[in-house]
């Protein structure tokens, strides 16, 4: 007889072996430890998904930029001349840029704060 068919011939063999194993009580902190591990895995998966999304956005941006550069090179880059910058308006431009940057930073911080409150 082959060794693979021994369990079919003696179906109670495994039941007898499992009945001989003593039952042990789980530690009191077992449930909390398992839940903590599940939460840690969930956080890791969320971070991995976030990194993948960021990588996808970066790759898509690089593809679009490279396609734009390739099309400009293929069609012949037009001669672009920039006008001379008026230095009297430079302070105003810097002021508007700083305001926009501060508003974007405040928006980012508020969104993070509200997102963490929901969790």
The pLDDT tens digits along the chain (119 residues) read 455 555 565 667 778 887 888 888 888 888 899 999 999 999 999 999 999 999 999 999 999 999 999 998 888 877 777 777 777 788 888 999 999 999 999 999 999 898 888 77
pLDDT of residue 2: 52
Residue 14, CA distances (Å) to 9, 10, 18, 23 in order? 11, 8, 6, 16
pLDDT of residue 74: 85
Residue 43, CA distances (Å) to 35, 37, 86, 112 in order? 12, 10, 51, 16
pLDDT of residue 15: 80
pLDDT of residue 1: 47
What is the pTM (predicted TM-score) of this model? 0.42
User: Are 14 and 7 in contact, with CB atoms under 8 Å apart?
Assistant: yes
């Amino acid at each position: 007889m082959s060794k693979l068919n021994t369990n079919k011939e003696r179906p109670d063999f495994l039941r007898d072996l499992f009945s001989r194993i003593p039952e042990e009580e789980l530690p009191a902190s077992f449930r909390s430890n398992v839940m903590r591990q599940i939460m840690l895995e969930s956080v890791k998966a969320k971070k991995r998904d976030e990194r993948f999304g960021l990588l996808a956005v970066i790759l898509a941006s690089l593809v679009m930029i490279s396609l734009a550069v390739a099309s400009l090179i293929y069609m012949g880059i037009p001669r672009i001349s920039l006008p001379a910058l008026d230095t009297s308006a430079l302070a105003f431009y810097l002021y508007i840029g700083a305001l926009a940057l501060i508003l974007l930073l405040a928006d980012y911080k508020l969104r993070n704060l509200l997102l963490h409150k929901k969790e």
